[in-house]
Chain A
Amino acid sequence: MNPLYLGGGAVALVVVYFWSLYNGLIRESTDIDEAWGQIQVQLKRRADLIPNLVESVKGYAKHEKGVFTEVTKARTAVMNADSPAEAAKADNMLTGALKSLFAVAEAYPKLEANQNFMQLQKELSDTEDKVAYSRQYYNAQLLEYNLKVKTFPNNVFVGMFGFTSREFFKAGEGEQNKVDVKFS
């Protein structure tokens, strides 16, 4: 066989490899960015529900100030978070704070029976599901991407294109935290 053909074939193979590697990584990181955007939308949605919730609880339980400040603080942290790690931490903090808020609400049967409060509670737990599912999608996308970036021979070349492995959105670290509720 003509060595020219062999050389040409080898070059073509290399070109195809780089081509598909690059385009694949671009596609996947776009998907990941979009998934991250979705998480942020849901986190924001959740944060937007909080002021109304706090207001409706305040109407029945004015003096539980500690809980309200805690929730508001956590909410601000979520709003200001940029990276997945920060957002995850803030989100867990908010989950903990909301748990204390609902624990407080339990002491007020009239509040629990309030239509508005019930609706907010429903919306909030749905939004928590939304955060969880968008996180699940994000992490699944990320797993694929990271696997591609880290395995051989891709790992030798991805740096050249400026791709690095990315961080997961972890949940549950704060969720195990003990919730301390003060009844005053």
Chain B
Amino acid sequence: MTISSQIRSNIAKTYLLMAVFVGLVIAIGYVLGYALGYGSDFVWIATLFAVISSFSSYWWGDKLVLAMSGAKPAERKKDFDFFTVAENLAMAAGIPKPKLYVIDDTAMNAFATGRDPEHAVVCATTGLLSKLERRELEGVIAHELSHIKNYDTRLLAVISVLAGTVVFLSDMFMRNLWWGGRRSRDDNNNSGGIILVIGIALAILTPIFATLMQMALSRRREFLADASGADLTRYPEGLARALAKLTQDKEVLEAATNATAHLYITNPFKGKAYGAWFSNMFNTHPPIEERIKRLRAM
């Protein structure tokens, strides 16, 4: 797959995903409304909710993701290498320098977000910045800039917000189910029961669906970003060494959540159950060993 066809497919997927999402939430709203006995009012609320969240995921996805991870703007003086490396590689890639943010955490990780290269953000942890050498950092930043250039970040930012919404909705539904809320228990018990079963099925299936989507979208994307990043630095060994250091790092990044896990360069949960049952069940990243092997073969 070439870069330009990847870009086209990313853009198309973003819109498709937003459409599917709106449809899905309306459907859930319908089931939910009838299962809980609120009737069709719920559908309207759900529609409003879906439209607002998919719209905001597109326009403010980057800001929401940054807010979710508690990042602060980087300074040239303090984060000299981070700042200049990003500046240089943006120049080589022919895109504007992204806004740079730092997460104050000793775990090593980084991610990029934003709807297009003009509104892009690259974020790194202080752990990453302090433990990597300049050439290794270049590898990581080039990987992130490739995500931006390929419009991966637009798709991923939309996914994070939408996945977050789906998780939120199904959580709400499950809670409602356990703690009552079914007002019209008496009238037509039979069909209510069927709708309830469907509702439960949906509540279980949607998070899985959302996660599967994350995973399916994620793996080839990482390999491609590795390759085009190496093309940018002309030094695949830099990223290979950085990834090797990242595997050594056993720390869990506290700032990452289920909805943002797939954004990071390596899985922020390190396979630990950190309230992260979903990212553990479905791996969002290809194994690092495989990525290093491919980089060294370039």
User: Which A residues fall within an 8 A CB radius of B?
Assistant: 31, 35, 38, 122, 126, 129-130, 133-134, 136-137, 141
Interface-lining segment among B12-20, B83-91, B161-169, B220-228: B83-91
Contacts of A122 in B (CB 8 A): 80
Please, how many angstroms separate the alpha-carbon atoms of A130 and B87 in the complex? 8
Please report which residues of chain B, range 55-94, place their CB below 8 angstroms from some CB of chain A when the two chains form the complex: 80, 84-85, 87-89, 91-94
* Nearest A residue to B84, CB-CB: A126
Contacts of A38 in B (CB 8 A): 91
Is B183 an interface residue when CB atoms closer than 8 A count as contact? no
* Nearest A residue to B92, CB-CB: A133
Contact between B88 and A130, CB atoms less than 8 A apart: yes
* Nearest B residue to A35, CB-CB: B94
Please report which residues of chain B, range 185-244, place their CB below 8 angstroms from some CB of chain A when the two chains form the complex: 234
Query: Size class of B's contact patch?
Result: 10 to 19
A132 CB, min distance to chain B CBs, angstroms: 8
B31 CB, min distance to chain A CBs, angstroms: 51
A40 CB, min distance to chain B CBs, angstroms: 13
Interface of B is mostly: helix
Chain A-chain B contacts (Cβ-Cβ < 8 Å), number: 27
Contacts of B234 in A (CB 8 A): 136
> With A136-B234, A137-B94 in contact, is A129–B88 under 8 Å at CB?
yes
A-B contact pairs, 25 of them (CB 8 A): A31-B94, A35-B94, A38-B91, A122-B80, A126-B80, A126-B84, A126-B88, A129-B84, A129-B85, A129-B88, A130-B84, A130-B87, A130-B88, A133-B88, A133-B91, A133-B92, A134-B91, A134-B92, A136-B92, A136-B234, A137-B91, A137-B92, A137-B93, A137-B94, A141-B94
Contacts of B80 in A (CB 8 A): 122, 126
* Nearest A residue to B89, CB-CB: A133
Contacts of B93 in A (CB 8 A): 137
Listed from nearest, the 5 A-B pairs whose CB atoms lie closest are: A133-B92, A126-B84, A133-B88, A129-B88, A133-B91
Please, how many angstroms separate the alpha-carbon atoms of A84 and B89 in the complex? 21
Please, how many angstroms separate the alpha-carbon atoms of A136 and B92 in the complex? 6
B135 CB, min distance to chain A CBs, angstroms: 10
Hey, what's the 0/1 contact readout for B89-106 against A, CB within 8 Å counting as 1? 101111000000000000
Which one of B80, B85, B89, B92 has the greatest number of beta carbons of chain A within 10 Å?
Answer: B92
Contacts of A133 in B (CB 8 A): 88-89, 91-92
Please, how many angstroms separate the alpha-carbon atoms of A122 and B80 in the complex? 9
Please, how many angstroms separate the alpha-carbon atoms of A143 and B92 in the complex? 14
Please, how many angstroms separate the alpha-carbon atoms of A134 and B85 in the complex? 13
Contacts of A141 in B (CB 8 A): 94
Which one of A38, A126, A130 has the greatest number of beta carbons of chain B within 10 Å?
Answer: A126
Which one of B85, B87, B88, B89 has the greatest number of beta carbons of chain A within 10 Å?
Answer: B88
Contacts of B92 in A (CB 8 A): 133-134, 136-137
Contacts of A130 in B (CB 8 A): 84, 87-88, 91
